[in-house]
């Protein structure tokens, strides 16, 4: 289908602020063209970076806000290892507010994954899913629920205008215009925030492949001024206890939000897997994951709705778990704080994760309070 010349701003890696630090020791590992060598090299690089990152100390404050649940195909959630014949399970979006000290000594606030449910529902896959499952429900129904900005104000006492940065682990089903430039004559939700995004996500939006179209909103950044976007090339260490680690595969510009929570340890926010046991399937309570691990020697099970590179996503999951601490959810499971974890629901009766990470509420919020 022909499409007009994209209005998405050109990426510009030079926009990265001077007080962000590139993490070359991780990104250089992706230069290795041989997948097997690359996997083991990035595992070692991740372990080394994790030790250095851990020693630097935690972020100042961290809060989680649960958002709306949504149905999701079981075959996507557990790629090659579906644990039930049910067609769908239920996942829950969540966003995270983090206060940290940047490298210039300034306290900053970043809002991670503040998805607007009614906007995400416009993406091709979810629009068709609504038509299949609840054709009687109008798309506008989701507007009645509070979005992330309203929840941050009501539950945390946060003024969205005091948020410095917004980021997403990747831009699937995201529309950034309401948050960054406003809509229908209303001001933007995050008046003074800038989007931190990998350059490759912007390039993807400029010319979507047919296999990408169901998962992307092509107009996601239309009209957003270039000065509102910080386009990064790879991994960046934003400040004490907070880094965005480039983890390609699920999308080309996917990144994982690595943070150190006081009293809890080092975690990674990611949608590469849908539960912590996706990262340690041999210990899973789901038979299919254990069998998949035993049969194929797999050490991770991918969230595989849009595999732009399955080997890269596998390696990215290994990189994530090599950086983080272990045991917060129980056993030897890595501390993966899934951005959209799957939850028990009637859609897949009897299916539930054995291990979950309790909501993280640590430290203090000061800069962002209203």
Spatial distance between the Cα atoms of 263 and 206, rounded to a whole number of angstroms: 42
CATH of 13-363, picked from 3.40.50.800, 3.90.1150.10, 3.60.15.10, 3.40.50.2300, is 3.60.15.10
Alpha-helix residue ranges (DSSP H) falling in 134-257: 148-156, 177-180, 199-206
Check residue 350 and give its pLDDT: 85
Predicted confidence (pLDDT) per residue in 43-53, tens digit = 999 999 999 99
Spatial distance between the Cα atoms of 262 and 366, rounded to a whole number of angstroms: 16
Could you tell me which of 367, 319, 267, 279 has the C-alpha nearest to residue 64?
Answer: 267
In the block, tokens 């056993």 appear at: 331
Q: Which whole number is the average pLDDT over 276-293?
A: 96
* C-alpha torsion sign, points 102, 107, 112, 115: negative
Which residues lie closer than 8 Å to 165 by C-beta, 6 or more apart? Answer: 108, 109, 110, 111, 193, 194, 195, 196, 230, 238
Could you tell me which of 261, 354, 360, 254 has the C-alpha nearest to residue 307?
Answer: 254
Check residue 8 and give its pLDDT: 43
Check residue 333 and give its pLDDT: 96
Spatial distance between the Cα atoms of 343 and 346, rounded to a whole number of angstroms: 10
Predicted confidence (pLDDT) per residue in 341-360, tens digit = 999 999 888 899 999 999 99
Looking at per-residue pLDDT, the higher value among 205 and 143 belongs to 205
Contact by Cβ (8 Å): 174, 221? no
Please say if the pLDDT value at position 327 is more than 50.
Answer: yes
Contact by Cβ (8 Å): 353, 280? no
Check residue 221 and give its pLDDT: 97
Spatial distance between the Cα atoms of 143 and 178, rounded to a whole number of angstroms: 13
**pLDDT, mean over the chain:** 93
Confidence of residue 5 (pLDDT cuts 50, 70, 90): very low
* 138 burial level (CB within 10 Å; 0-12, 13-18, 19+): exposed
Q: Residues of the chain with pLDDT > 70: what percent?
A: 96
Check residue 19 and give its pLDDT: 86
Contact by Cβ (8 Å): 23, 242? no
Please say if the pLDDT value at position 287 is more than 80.
Answer: yes
Could you tell me which of 136, 137, 182, 144 has the C-alpha nearest to residue 68?
Answer: 144
Confidence of residue 6 (pLDDT cuts 50, 70, 90): very low
Contact by Cβ (8 Å): 321, 339? no
Lowest mean pLDDT among 8-12, 99-103, 295-299, 345-349: 8-12
Confidence of residue 11 (pLDDT cuts 50, 70, 90): very low
Q: The whole model's pTM is what? A: 0.94
Helix 35-55 vs helix 310-323: angle between axes, to the nearest 10 degrees?
A: 30
Could you write out the three-class secondary structure of 26-48?
HHHHHHCCCHHHHHHHHHHHHHH
């Amino acid at each position: 289908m022909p499409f007009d010349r994209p209005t998405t701003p050109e990426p510009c890696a030079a926009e990265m602020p001077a007080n962000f630090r590139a993490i070359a020791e991780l990104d250089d590992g992706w230069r290795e063209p041989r997948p097997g060598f690359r996997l083991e090299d990035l595992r070692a690089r991740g372990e080394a970076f994790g030790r250095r990152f851990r020693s630097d100390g935690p972020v100042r404050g961290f809060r989680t806000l649960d958002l709306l649940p949504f149905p999701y195909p079981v075959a996507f959630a557990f790629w090659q290892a579906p644990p039930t014949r049910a067609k769908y399970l239920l996942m829950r979006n969540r966003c995270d507010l983090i206060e940290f000290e940047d490298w210039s000594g300034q306290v900053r606030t970043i809002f991670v994954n503040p998805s607007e449910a009614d906007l995400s529902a416009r993406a091709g896959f979810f629009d068709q899913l609504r038509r299949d499952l609840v054709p009687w429900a109008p798309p506008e129904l989701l507007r009645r629920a509070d979005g992330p900005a309203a929840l941050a104000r009501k539950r945390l006492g946060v003024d969205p205008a005091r948020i410095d940065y917004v980021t997403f682990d990747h831009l699937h089903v995201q529309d950034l215009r309401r948050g960054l430039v406003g809509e229908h004559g209303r001001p933007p939700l995050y008046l003074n925030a800038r989007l931190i995004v990998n350059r490759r996500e912007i390039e993807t939006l400029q010319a979507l492949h047919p296999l990408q179209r169901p998962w992307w909103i092509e107009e996601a950044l239309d009209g957003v001024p270039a000065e509102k976007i910080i386009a990064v090339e790879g991994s960046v260490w934003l400040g004490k206890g907070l880094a965005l680690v480039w983890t390609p595969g699920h999308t080309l510009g996917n990144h994982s939000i690595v943070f150190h929570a006081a009293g809890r340890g080092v975690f990674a926010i990611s949608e590469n897997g849908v539960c912590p046991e996706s990262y340690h399937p041999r210990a899973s309570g789901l038979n299919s994951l254990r069998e998949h691990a035993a049969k194929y020697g797999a050490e991770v099970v991918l969230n595989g709705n849009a595999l732009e590179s399955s080997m890269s996503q596998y390696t990215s999951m290994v990189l994530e778990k090599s950086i983080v601490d272990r045991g917060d959810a129980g056993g030897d499971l890595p501390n993966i704080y899934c951005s959209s974890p799957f939850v028990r629901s009637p859609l897949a009766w009897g299916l539930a994760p054995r291990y979950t990470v309790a909501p993280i509420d640590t430290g203090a919020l000061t800069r962002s309070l209203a």
